[in-house]
């Protein structure tokens, strides 16, 4: 990572501590006994999963049943020598319904990063199906799949976006099929891919212009840019083709670029700062099947209560400039770290 992103991660490293021993602790960091979350028999529950960018003093993944409520009990998946997870970042779910988890640390220290692939639903005893070392990455922090099932990863440490092609059926080091380098001033953060396989990448270094780079297949030209954001993070498309993003300046906001406002130089169609604390940083987005928008907030100082999962009830209400989150959810671990980074729903 570099620039402001280095500063953000360095702060987290300092606060969370490095070199913690592997293996699940008997208690949460808050000292409470670990109680696995139980789901009723029958139809599998839909869960929201989020990562905690932190050492193994804390769980690399937590999850809870949706719809998420303020008092919902979360379960934790811990580090182990077998899974190698630590300082986890981006999350994604592939077309087979498997959870992909980016990890910085392990023996690679993020140069390159690696991704662990799990069958869902995740359990405390889960073992990943595969582990892929992502050759060419440096501190990868977000991932997405295109309509053909190819894996795309943002790599801020070398200002690049990388594509990996399958089949993803054997653990080991995989090499990128395509590397798209950006200028040193481009700090790739969130990534989203539309139905036409156009790649959208947020630029954490943006202060109002060059906010989201857009590149169409076959990805051999120059990108154009959407504007209007400061330090953007997460990106996600809804079912109607509208793009949701975050602007994380002095007045944090979730924004929407309507499907007809995705041309070069376009600015957000709707800007919604309502209900977001001043230090919010919406690092990643995910939609439920009903259309509710969930965001991982990594903006709070430890114990500030800002960090967690923010929920906008878009399945029932229209997005607008004055729609506040219906839920601001956190856990003791997320609060102590001050960060929830990746998010996925399945």
* Interval 8-52: pLDDT, tens: 443 333 333 333 332 333 333 333 333 344 444 445 669 999 999
CA distances from 205 to 19, 84, 161, 215 (A): 30, 31, 15, 18
CB atoms within 10 A of CB 24: 14
Tell me which architecture the domain covering 3-15+46-345 has in CATH.
6 Propeller (2.120)
How many beta carbons lie within 10 A of that of residue 123, not counting itself? 14
Residue of 245, 287, 291, 239 whose CA lies nearest to 267: 245
Closest among 108, 156, 105 to 135, alpha carbons compared: 108
Residues 6+ apart with CB under 8 A from 71: none
Task: Provide, rounded to the nearest whole percent, the portion of the chain with pLDDT above 90.
Answer: 79
Average pLDDT over residues 123-152: 97
- Per-residue pLDDT at 184: 82
Burial 79-112 (b: 16+ CB within 10 A, else e): beeebbbbbbbbbbbbeeebbbbbbbbbeeebeb
Q: Where are the domains of the chain?
A: 3-15+46-345
Of residues 184 and 112, more confidently modeled: 112
Q: How many alpha carbons fall within 13 Å on the CB side of residue 50?
A: 33
Q: Within 10 Å of residue 333's Cβ, how many Cβ atoms? A: 20
| pLDDT: which is higher, 64 or 108 | 64
Mean pLDDT, to the nearest integer, of 160-187?
94
> What is the C-alpha separation between 87 and 108, in angstroms, rounded?
12
Supply the pLDDT for residue 305: 80
Q: Which residue has the tokens 């050759």?
A: 135
Give the integer Cα–Cα distance in Å for 1 and 98: 27
Amino acid 223: pLDDT: 94
> In this predicted structure, what is the pLDDT of residue 142?
98
CA atoms within 13 A on the CB side of 65: 11
Residue 257 reports pLDDT greater than 70 = yes
Rounded mean pLDDT of 292-316?
A: 92
pLDDT tens digits for 198-236?
999 999 999 999 999 999 999 988 999 999 999 999 999
Burial per residue of 179-204, b for 16 or more beta-carbon CB atoms within 10 angstroms, e otherwise: ebebeeebbbbbbbbbeebbbbbbbb
The candidate with the shortest Cα–Cα distance to 60, out of 26, 15, 91, is 91
**3-state class of 133 per DSSP?**
strand
Nearest Cα residue to 86 out of 117, 112, 55, 61 = 55
Indicate the average pLDDT of the chain.
Answer: 88
Q: How confident is the model at residue 106 (pLDDT cuts 50, 70, 90)?
A: low
Contact assessment for residue 273 and residue 308, using Cβ atoms and an 8 Å cutoff: no
Which residue reads 């891919």 in tokens? 193
pLDDT at res. 35: 37
Burial class (CB in 10 A: 0-12, 13-18, 19+), 15: middle
Average pLDDT in the 78-107 region?
92
- Which has the higher per-residue pLDDT, 259 or 184? 259
Ramachandran region, residue 326 (left: φ > 0; alpha: ψ -120 to 50; beta: rest):
alpha
Using CA atoms, how far apart are residues 309 and 282, in angstroms rounded to an integer? 9
Lowest mean pLDDT among 8-17, 135-144, 202-211, 301-310: 8-17
């Amino acid at each position: 990572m570099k620039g402001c992103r280095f500063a953000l991660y360095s702060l987290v490293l300092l606060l969370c501590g490095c070199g913690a021993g592997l293996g699940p602790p008997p208690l949460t960091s808050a000292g409470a006994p670990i109680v696995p979350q139980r789901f009723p028999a029958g139809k599998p529950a839909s869960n929201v999963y989020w990562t905690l960018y932190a050492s193994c003093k804390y769980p690399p993944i937590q999850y809870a049943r949706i719809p998420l409520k303020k008092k919902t009990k979360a379960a934790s998946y811990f580090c182990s020598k077998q899974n190698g997870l630590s300082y986890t970042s981006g999350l994604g779910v592939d077309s087979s319904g498997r959870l992909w988890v980016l990890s910085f640390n392990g023996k690679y220290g993020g140069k390159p990063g690696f991704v662990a692939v799990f069958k869902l639903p995740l359990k405390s005893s889960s073992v990943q199906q595969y582990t892929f070392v992502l050759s060419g990455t440096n501190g990868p922090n977000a991932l997405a799949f295109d309509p053909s099932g190819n894996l795309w990863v943002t790599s801020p440490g070398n200002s690049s976006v990388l594509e990996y092609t399958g089949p993803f059926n054997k653990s080991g080091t995989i090499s990128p099929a395509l590397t798209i380098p950006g200028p040193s001033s481009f700090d790739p953060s969130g990534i989203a891919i539309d139905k036409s396989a156009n790649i959208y990448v947020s630029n954490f270094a943006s202060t109002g212009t060059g906010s989201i780079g857009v590149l169409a297949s076959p990805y051999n030209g120059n990108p154009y840019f959407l504007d209007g954001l400061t330090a953007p993070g997460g990106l996600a498309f809804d079912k109607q083709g509208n793009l949701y993003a975050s602007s994380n300046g002095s007045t944090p906001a979730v924004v929407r670029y309507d499907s007809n406002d995705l041309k070069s130089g376009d600015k957000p169609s709707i800007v919604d700062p309502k209900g977001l604390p001043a230090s919010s940083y919406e690092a990643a987005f995910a939609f439920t099947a009903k259309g509710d928008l969930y965001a991982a907030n990594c903006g709070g100082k430890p114990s500030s209560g800002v960090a967690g999962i923010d929920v906008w009830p878009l399945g029932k209400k229209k997005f607008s400039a004055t729609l506040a989150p219906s839920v601001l959810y956190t856990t003791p671990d997320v609060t102590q770290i001050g960060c929830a980074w990746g998010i996925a729903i399945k």
